[in-house]
Structure formats: C-alpha cells, structure tokens
Amino acid sequence: MTVLFTLLPEAVGTVKADSKSAVLEQLAARFATVYGLDRALVLERLVQRENLGSTGFGRGVAIPHARIADVERPMAAFLRLEAPVAFDAADDMPVSLVFGLLSPEQAGVVHLHALAAISRMMRDDRMHTALDEAPSDEALYSLIANVIDRDAG
C-alpha cells in the first residue's frame, strides 16, 4: 500500500480558535503557509464543503476536506485545539482534534481512500488519547507519521 497523503511536520500544530469558522481559517492558513496554496481559495473550498454538512464526525474529531485544482496530490494538516469548539458534529460534541485534507479536483477514489484512512486513525481509542495528551507539536506529528508509515508499509 502506498502513502495516501502528504503530511509535513510544519502542518501539525496546537492552535487557539473560538469558533468553527476560526478553526477553518486556521486550517486554511496552515495549508497556505506549509504547502504554498492560496489561503482564500482553500478557506472558500473548506467552507463550501462544510455547508453541505458538518465534517465533525464525533468523539471530538472533525475532518474538514475539499478538492482543489491547484493540488497535485492529497495533502493533510492536523490541528489540536487548545479548547474544544462547537462544530455541529454528528454527536453534538465539541471538537478538539481537526484533521484537514485537500485533494486534487479529479481525485475521486484517492480522496475517499485518504479520508477513510484518516477516519480509521481517528477512531482508534489509543490514538485519540495519545493525540489529546501529546506534550508537543513534535510529538503530535510523530504519532501521526508513525501510523501513516505503518499503514503504507
């Protein structure tokens, strides 16, 4: 199995946000800074997708995602929020772990496989606890990268 998406260390971080829109803005800014994308376009696409239905899938996790023409391969960013934020999640629980995914416009199956892999990772109880309790952004990245490497092997 191959790696389904790119996640750079700088794309992982702990941030402060006080609303769903602030979370999406932080995520768009992270994608723009780390991957050289247009922040406004990323935010527009994430908001468009969110308007179709919340990407908060429960247990304090959201997976905002979108497809963008300028993207050549799926890429991810991960934000741990300093305090949980209401996200209209399926279980009405506020979100504290946000895993963003951007894929090429025509990446139908690839995008779905990447979303499924992220969803599996975030549903794992041990992983969820480890991400909540990680002492630093470097530790967050290591936890996620280890799963990505294991699943790709």
The residues annotated with a catalytic role in the active site are: 65
> For the segment 50-64, what is each residue's pLDDT rounded down to a tens digit?
999 999 988 999 999
Alpha-helix residue ranges (DSSP H) falling in the chain = 20-35, 39-52, 108-123, 125-133, 137-152
Q: What is the pTM of this model?
A: 0.94
- pLDDT of res. 118: 93
- pLDDT of res. 152: 56
d(CA 76, CA 114): 9
d(CA 9, CA 120): 21
Residues 119, 67: contact at Cβ < 8 Å?
no
Q: Which residues pair with 141 in a beta bridge?
A: none
Eight-class DSSP state of 91 = T
Domains of the chain, first to last: 9-152 (3.40.930.10)
